[in-house]
Chains A and B, each alone.
Chain A
Amino acid sequence: MKMAPILLPLLLAGSLAEACEGLVVERQWIREAPPGARVMAGYAELRNEASSLLVINGVESPGYFEHTMIHETQLVEGRARMAPRETLEIAQAATLSLAPGGLHLMLMQPVSDLALGAEIPLTLQCGESRTEVRFLVRASAP
């Protein structure tokens, strides 16, 4: 019982990581996938309202997807290539668009089939900070 007052603040501190400074996420959506799909894609508009460069260096969705990555579709001479991206860099006052045919969040091994309309929390990581955003499962872009 003596530990409780110490443990509690420690636990709270862990869950109160700072949000990514300046990051505004809009029009976020996950494309609805066929039943049994092992991989889905997340898209959004990412705006940086801070006065310095914003670097997103990871994404996760524990409990919903086993493995998540930032990817980019590149169309080269008619061929679609998928390249993993370590980071997404957004200059101050700029907006980066994650959209079909380009940058996207590759969401692998969904824990269960995600229904149209479901809201899925995805956490974008910027170094020590993280911002959790709810992505809506839709058939097409908002």
Chain B
Amino acid sequence: MAATDRTALALFVVIALLAFALGIHFARKNAPESSAPVEGMLWPSPPRLEAFMLDGADGKPLTEEVLAGKWTLLFFGFTHCPDVCPTTLSTLREVTSLLKDSPEFAKNGQVLFVSVDPARDAPADLAQYVGHFDRSFRAATAPPARLAALTSQLGILHTRVKLGSGEDYTVDHTASVLLIGPGLERLAVFSAPHAAPDLAARIRQIIEFLQD
């Protein structure tokens, strides 16, 4: 190869490599900053909650309209639950406290506890129950058919299990906390066990990500 050809080739290779390197650099720089990894499940095109009607602890019907425009932390349980439900509601109280520094959640966040044991949990009982954890927490329940309209959409399972030989029973139930967005989007499912700082951080990330 002639000397000039070799030089030209070398120059070409150097420029090509440089262009390649620069291209990569700018591509990475301009790529949308992928949000910090959010664990739990964040659906890319989240399905929306369809209409439902429960009986609110405040004596009024609680429909999907109560969730519209809000970031709702939704948890299903029952008041005869000694361990999981009080623990989770305690954790959610801590979570809402930690999220006071998220202006969006502080303004539009809410917690909703739904009892899957309407036979023992009347709406009025629920007011007293959740009120113990936080006065602002909402609660509701409904007879089996209307309750199923919500639980089946969300894949929430619940079964009565007898305790001993008498009438007493406990309820095995899905212990996840769900995050529903302002447009009724089913945004995330957080499986138990829950740690408040971790849950708050993830919720904050999701809200920030979606608000961009």
Binding site for B on A (CB under 8 A): 31, 33-41, 69, 71, 73, 75, 78-82, 84, 100-101, 104, 106-108, 139-140
Contact = CB atoms under 8 A, between A and B. Distances in A.
B83 A78 contact: no
Overall SS of chain B's interface: mixed
A44 B39 CA distance: 31
A13 B44 CA distance: 70
B87 A101 contact: yes
Contacts of B83: 41, 71, 73, 82, 100-101, 104, 106
Contacts of B174: 78-80
Q: Taking each of A35, A38, A100, A108, which has the highest tally of chain B beta carbons within 10 Å of its own beta carbon?
A: A100
Nearest to B86: A31
Overall SS of chain A's interface: strand
A10 to B, nearest CB: 33
A77 B172 CA distance: 12
8 nearest A-B pairs in the assembled complex, by CB-CB distance: A34-B132, A80-B175, A41-B82, A100-B87, A80-B84, A81-B172, A39-B82, A34-B129
B69 interface: no
Contacts of B168: 108
Nearest to A40: B82
Contacts of B208: none
A41 B132 contact: no
A34 B85 CA distance: 12
